[in-house]
Structure 1
Amino acid sequence: MLPMLRFSWTGQSVQWVFKENQMEYKVYQRNAFWEQATIVGHWAWVFYQLFLLPTWPLRVAYFIISQMGGGLLIAHVVTFNHNSVDKYPANSRILNNFAALQILTTRNMTPSPFIDWLWGGLNYQIEHHLFPTMPRCNLNACMKYVKEWCKENNLPYLVDDYFDGYAMNLQQLKNMAEHIQAKAA
């Protein structure tokens, strides 16, 4: 199902952009035109490139493979970053502490030049959640400050290599299944 997430997220992005005119926050209303224009421009460019391919079956196959391949990659990193950490109930006090919430509910993948390139900076998920508008190329430099802040405030800084993170991901899925099974019994 991971490759299918690209279609879901794309649909949600398009819906969001075209609802911005009616949102209560002025910043969304102010940016709506340009966001709408750029998303239309993006998809016009995508479909123009598809049009350049020689046959309809090739166009359709290329579109599906490229979108699902992109979906697999982005969902792969998102599941590593989010599914391997503890979950908190909707009434948890942690929801009142933005920094702690972001730090405790995400995990970074151990950085390296290859991982940074492959994940496009999203392996720095803690920093991405704390500073969502920060350019990805700056997330690595920001990491040392966040680690230091976590240490000063007795918060864990969750960073693991690929295999350890996915092992924790599978363990978390097992824990949730056992929790649901126990509640059902």
Structure 2
Amino acid sequence: MPASPSTIVAPPPALASPPSERAGGSDFAPLSRRVKESGLLDRRPAYYARAIALNLAATAAVWAAIAWAGGSWWVVLLGVPLALLSARTAFLGHDAGHRQIARTARGNKWLGLLLGNLLLGMGHGWWSDKHNRHHANPNHVGKDPDVGEGVLAWTEEQAARQRGPLRWLARHQAWLFFPLLTLEGFNLKVGSALFLRGRSRGARLLEGGLLLAHTAAYLGLVFALLSPGKAVVLILVHHALFGVHLGAVFAPNHKGMAMPEPGARWGHLRRQVLTSRNVRGGVVVDWLMGGLNYQIEHHLFPGIPRCSLRRVRPLVMEHCERVGLPYTETGLVESYRQALGHMREVGSELRAEAARR
């Protein structure tokens, strides 16, 4: 009998090795065949055409409201819907990067460039490179850039190597995580620009030209509609909330889940399921998280259209139960508790060290 939708089956956060493999990664093959035969992998162009059109119309409506309310400081509150709609654009760019929208790789690439570089100011090439490495080895230190060395520490070893202000930050990173996300909207744009340095001349011209067009249009529009003071505050509100929104979507997906040890060789099914966490919550959570609350299904079938993720979930749950593989699904608040709990645990030795001084 499949696990009920309310079931929470959670592996330990630092699983050293997976359950015994049966014929390597072949446990995934029966599930793959079943999902393919169900038709759930088929493209849904009408769904995406509607989603893109509605998002563009809503974004235009917010800018019209900014023009109408430009004489009042209340206009800066329109940074809230602007951030929400920017996140919707990012989710659509994400889906294009996974070739979920158009039927050809070329079509998806151009959608990614237009949605990411032009409309959002976030480089499609930079995101694709980083995100594809994450999907290939989720939560695998040394292979997944999302758990690499950086401002935050994802393992005790990384925390121990932090120095100076970063060492203090590692001690308190669970409390500082969401405040730090207010910088992520700007960080995404900086990372996109820096990535172009190592690209070919053609890629630099195309992606860089679209990024410059976005920057010129965005700054030109906001400073044309608002006084300099209001324009700066609106930009800060927009990008701060955009960063928090994206970070709040991605944080529950893998943080606090299994992290393969160096040299571990897991089959596709175990590599993707054991490192991922689903988030329950119905249509509201589906919308806010852009379908990425079905993280297990998304990682197993990255090319599946977003609107099919909910429908493929029962098939995945049933298969995981059949092969004896833990399937982790929690509520939204619990997902943050687990993710932040992992970050707090990583910094525990540094806090103990500070207390001994």
TM-score range for the pair, normalised by the shorter chain length: 0.7 to 0.9
Deviation of the 1:112 alpha carbon: 0.5
Aligned to 2:222: 50
- Cα distance per residue 1:58-104 (max 9 Å; x no partner): 2211111101101001111211222231323333233xx33322211
**1:173 is matched with which residue: 343, 348, 356?**
343
**Runs of 5+ unmatched residues, structure 1:** 23-28
**Partners of 2:194 and 2:265 in 1: how far apart?**
31
Query: Which is further off, 59-68 or 129-138?
Result: 129-138
RMSD value, Cα: 3.1
| Structure 2 residue aligned with 1:72 | 244
1:32 to 1:87, Cα distance in 2 relative to 1, 3 A: same
Retained in 2: the 8 A contact 1:18–1:36? no
Partner of 1:147: 317
Deviations 1:132-170 (CA, angstroms, capped at 9, x unpaired): 343323322232332233223322221100122222223
What is the CA–CA distance in structure 1 between the aligned matches of 2:206 and 2:322, rounded to whole Å?
41
What CA deviation, in whole Å up to 9, does each residue of 1:105-131 have, x standing for no partner?
A: 121110401111112212122233333
* Distance in 1 separating the partners of 2:312 and 2:206: 29
Instruction: Specify the alignment match of 1:25 in structure 2.
Output: none
C-alpha distance in 2 between matches for 1:145 and 1:40: 44
Q: Is the 8 A contact 1:100 1:155 kept in 2?
A: yes
Which is greater in Rg? Answer: 2
Q: Please list, as runs of the form range in 1=range in 2, the aligned pairs for 1:33-182 lying within 5 A after superposition.
A: 38-94=210-266, 97-178=267-348
What is the DSSP-based 3-state SS (H/G/I as helix, E as strand, rest coil) of the residue aligned with 1:93? coil
Which of 13, 18, 28 is the aligned partner of 2:192? 13
Distance in 1 (alpha carbons) for counterparts of 2:251 and 2:348: 19
Amino acid paired to 2:278: N
Deviation, 1:40, is 4.5
User: What is the distance in 1 between the residues matched to 2:325 and 2:338?
Assistant: 19
* TM-score (norm. length: structure 2): 0.42
Residues 38 and 159 (structure 1 numbering): CA distance in 2 closer, same or farther, change over 3 Å? farther
Distance 1:41 1:135 in 2: 29
Kept in 1, the 8 Å contact 2:294–2:313? The answer is yes
Of all paired residues, the percent bearing the same amino acid is 27
Provide the aligned length of Structure 1 versus Structure 2: 176
Asked whether the 8 Å contact 1:85–1:105 carries over to 2, the reply is yes
CA contact (8 A) 2:281 2:332 kept: no
What 5-or-longer segments of structure 2 have no aligned partner? 1-179
Which secondary structure state, in structure 1, belongs to the residue aligned with residue 299 of structure 2?
Answer: helix
Higher RCO structure (Cα 8 Å, ≥6 apart)? 2
Tell me which amino acid in the other structure corresponds to 1:117: W
